[in-house]
Amino acid sequence: MKFFKNKRKEPLTDTQLLMTITICIFVAMYLLAMLLLQGGFLHAQQIFDLLNDNASLIIVSCGLTIVMIGGGIDISVGAVTSLVTMSCILYLNGGGNVFMSILLSLGIGLAFGLVHGFLISYLEIQPFIVTLAGMFFARGMTTILSVNPQKIDNEAFNAVRESKIEIPWLGYVAKNGNMVPARMELGVVIALVCVALVFVLLKFLKPGRNLYAMGGNQTSALMLGINVKRTRFMSYIISGFLSGISGFVLMLHTGAGNATNAAGMEMNAIASSIIGGTLLTGGVGNVIGTFFGTLTLTTIKKIVVSSGLKDPWWQSITTGGMLCFFILLQSIVLSRRNKK
């Protein structure tokens, strides 16, 4: 009995605290939308639609979270996603097979990750400059491949794309009286697997712990014997690799591509990570928080549209306001916590 009396509950870490705040805000926001707006928010399919529409963004945000925890930044992920999508579409329309298109998407993403990681980690060039150059290069290459929108004509790929995971007991009854099952795309499964793998990396594996140490204080990480250059190199490789996966998942969702595909995705990914509790200064963040940060960001956009404000600038204004709110909230919470 004495053991149980003396046992104290460990306080939440900064990462856990910010993640908890994000999850609570998302749940409160969604419940409020259900009560006030009703409509599609009353059906489980709305949640699946959020996931279906944003599976590629979730994957890219996972990569950004890893980089940002290590104290870096990668603004090329949206352009790399666009390049992967266009390259795979042209390859498939030229008679290629689905398996090789997967390898092509992973290869492109990995190539960008290797180049960015080497320049940033071993040549010590600023991450913003390197990834900005990567963004321009990827956008330019996408335009060279095709300036016109492209639609996938490959039958094998379209068969994979059109397959859905149906969950009948989460469906709803339509106006005509028919039962409509909830549908989830394959890209959502890929996104959830990526979230789970990144969570394991950051939570349980040594490279993940090294990332937190490096992002928190690089000098202390060096004194602890952590290979900072190799850890940072690894973070950009993973980010590029996930961008390649994101491009393929985006292609699965849209079945088409153009030169401006995934425009602004990198900014949405950064916003999702910040809303999820990842600090730009590094050392704090969690991929589960990023996952809910993405859902929070997309939910507020749905709420704005459902409220009748369908002009695109209202979504941008709302996103900016929400981002400022979360940054201010994080600053207040962490400053009060540090004082205590």
pLDDT tens profile 214-245: 998 988 999 989 999 999 999 999 999 999 99
pLDDT digits (tens, 9 = 90+) for 288-304: 999 999 999 988 888 88
Per-residue pLDDT of the chain (340 residues; tens, 9 = 90+): 444 455 556 677 778 888 888 899 899 888 888 887 776 777 888 888 899 999 999 999 999 999 999 999 999 999 999 999 999 999 999 988 999 999 999 999 999 999 999 999 999 999 999 999 999 999 999 999 988 888 998 999 999 998 888 887 777 766 666 667 788 999 999 999 999 999 999 999 999 999 999 998 988 999 989 999 999 999 999 999 999 999 999 999 998 888 788 888 999 999 999 999 898 888 889 999 999 999 999 888 888 887 777 777 787 888 888 888 888 887 887 776 666 5
In sequence order, what are the beta bridge partners of 173? 179
Q: How many CB atoms lie within 10 A of CB 164?
A: 15
Per-residue CA distances from 36 to 33, 43, 99, 214 (Å): 5, 14, 46, 45
Residue 248 · residue 98 · CB < 8 Å: no
d(CA 253, CA 248): 9
Q: State residue 87's pLDDT score.
A: 95
Helix axes 287-306, 14-36, angle to 10 degrees: 20
Q: State residue 103's pLDDT score.
A: 96
d(CA 298, CA 61): 13
The single-letter code of the amino acid at 223 is: M
Tokens of 25: 């805000």
In sequence order, what are the beta bridge partners of 151? 256
Q: State residue 96's pLDDT score.
A: 87
Tokens of 179: 């039962």
d(CA 18, CA 278): 8
Q: Which residues of 91-126 are buried (b: 16+ CB within 10 A; e: fewer)?
A: bbeeebebeebeebbbebbbebbebbbbbbbeeeee
